[in-house]
Amino acid sequence: MLDTDCSKKSQKAMRRLLPPLNALRAFEAAGRLGSFTKAAAELNVSHSAISRHVRGLEDRLNVHLFQARNTGVVLTEQGRTYLSEITPAFDRIAHATEALSVHPKGTVTLTTENTVAQKWLIPRLASLRARHPDIDLKISATAEVMDIEAHDFDMGLRYVRSEPSEEYHLLFRSEIRAYAAPGFAPMSNGELDLRALATGPLIEDATFRLWSKWFRQAGLDDVPELNLPHPLGAILAIQSAVAGLGAVLMDKNLCEPERQSGALVELAGVEIPFGGYYLVVNKRAGRRKAVRAVRQWLLEECSRAEAVKPG
pLDDT at 10 over 60: no
From 99, 127, 161, the end of a domain falls on: 99
* Cα 259 from Cα 154, distance rounded (Å): 32
Strand partners, 138: 109
* Cα 156 from Cα 190, distance rounded (Å): 45
Residue 191 counted as domain residue = yes
Amino acid at residue number 43: L
Does 237 lie in the same domain as 129? Answer: yes
Provide the CATH number for the domain around residue 157: 3.40.190.290
Those residues whose C-beta lies under 8 Å from the C-beta of residue 170, and which sit 6 or more positions away, are 276, 277, 278
Domains in the chain, number? 2
Q: What is the pTM of this model?
A: 0.66
Does 208 lie in the same domain as 73? Answer: no
From 43, 73, 99, the end of a domain falls on: 99
DSSP summary character for residue 232: B
Cβ atoms < 10 Å from Cβ of 102: 6
- Over residues 180-200, mean pLDDT: 90
Q: Where are the alpha helices (DSSP H) in the chain?
A: 2-14, 21-33, 36-43, 47-61, 77-99, 114-116, 125-131, 194-198, 211-218, 234-242, 252-261, 289-307
Length in residues, the chain: 311
- Give the three-state DSSP class for 131: helix
CA dihedral over 78, 83, 89, 93, signed as positive or negative: positive
Does 77 lie in the same domain as 127? Answer: no
Does 198 lie in the same domain as 129? Answer: yes
Residue 207 counted as domain residue = yes
Pairing state between β 72-75 and 66-69: antiparallel
Does 77 lie in the same domain as 122? Answer: no
CA dist 275 → 115, 172, 191, 226 (Å): 16, 9, 30, 24
Cβ atoms < 10 Å from Cβ of 180: 24
Q: What secondary structure does DSSP assign to 168-214, as a single string?
A: EEEEEEEEEEEEE-TT-S-EETTEE-HHHHHTS-EE-BSS---HHHH
Q: 69 lies in which domain range?
A: 19-99
Does 122 lie in the same domain as 64? Answer: no
Residue 11 counted as domain residue = no
**pLDDT the model gives residue 266:** 94
Gyration radius from the chain CA atoms: 27
Does 160 lie in the same domain as 80? Answer: no
59-111 pLDDT, tens per residue? Answer: 999 999 999 888 778 999 999 999 999 998 988 887 787 777 667 888 999 99
**pLDDT the model gives residue 7:** 53
From 84, 99, 114, the end of a domain falls on: 99
**pLDDT the model gives residue 76:** 94
Residue 2 counted as domain residue = no
**pLDDT the model gives residue 42:** 83
* Cα 34 from Cα 130, distance rounded (Å): 37
Mean pLDDT of the chain: 86
16-70 pLDDT, tens per residue? Answer: 778 899 999 999 999 988 889 888 988 889 999 999 999 999 999 999 999 988 8
